[in-house]
Amino acid sequence: MKYDREDELKNRLNSFLAKSFDIAHIDYYSKLNDEAILNLKSALSDINNILTYKVTIGLVQWIISNLNLDLETQTKLKNDVLQSKPSSNGYDLLLSSPIKLIAEVKCNIPVNNGSKYGAAQKLGIQKDIQGLLNGKSKSKVNHLDYLKFMAFLDIPTIREANTHMMKSKNTLKDSLVFIDDKQSFDKRLDVVYGIYIPLR
């Protein structure tokens, strides 16, 4: 039997909708006209923003737990996340007092459900590492004085992709230090600390 691209896409969409929403397994694909498909695409484009928000809130909780922030600072940090618009310029997280820190949140899922990032994904991560270490043109903070973090969604494929990325050439592997049970957090300002944040 020959491969049929439309059949494959139709089956994947129908299966996803039925499973995710616990609804009947019928042919939803055939019920969608072009306008409905465009509207669905627009709605689903916010999925990355939702993931980024959840991981950012998880990173805030990690920071609160590990940096012993006072209640006023905790509230400010949480409010900053709630009030920032999706895909805004600058850092995903910025705190200037009483502790200085900047952070980027990455929710890249390895391509084709695999365990390696695509070239564009890897370049995006490297660009954000550079932005943390060397500053951003649109940010006025003196990045040299700030703790730097990069938060990743904690799923096995992302951990595998990061391990693969750290072994590959052209990666700023000496600049990204993952914190886990084996690696203590020594608060260096010349590295980016990688943190894995589980979805709650």
Together in a domain, 22 and 116: no
Together in a domain, 148 and 91: yes
Pairing state of beta strands 93-95 and 101-106? Answer: antiparallel
Per-residue pLDDT tens, the chain, 200 aa: give them. 788 898 999 999 899 899 999 999 999 999 999 999 898 888 877 888 888 899 999 999 999 988 889 999 999 999 988 888 776 778 999 999 899 999 999 988 898 778 899 989 999 999 999 999 998 877 778 888 999 999 999 999 999 999 999 887 666 778 999 987 566 678 899 999 999 999 87
- pLDDT score, position 117: 92
Together in a domain, 72 and 97: yes
| Residues 81, 60 contacting (CB under 8 angstroms) | yes
Together in a domain, 86 and 175: yes
Together in a domain, 22 and 51: no
Together in a domain, 39 and 69: no
Together in a domain, 84 and 169: yes
- pLDDT score, position 68: 87
Together in a domain, 21 and 65: no
Number of domains comprising the chain: 2
Together in a domain, 117 and 160: yes
The amino acid present at 79, given as its one-letter code, is N
Total length of the chain: 200
Give the domain extent around 22: 5-44
| Residues 56, 151 contacting (CB under 8 angstroms) | yes
- pLDDT score, position 183: 61
DSSP-derived secondary structure for the chain: ----HHHHHHHHHHHHHHHHHT------GGG--HHHHHHHHHHHTTHHHHHHHHHHHHHHHHHHHHHT--HHHHHHHHHHHHHSPTT-SS-SEEE-SSS-EEEEEE-PPPGGGSSS--HHHHHHHHHHHHHHHH--TT--S-GGGSEEEEEEE--HHHHHHHHHHHHSTTS-TTTEEE-SSSS-----SSSEEEEEE---
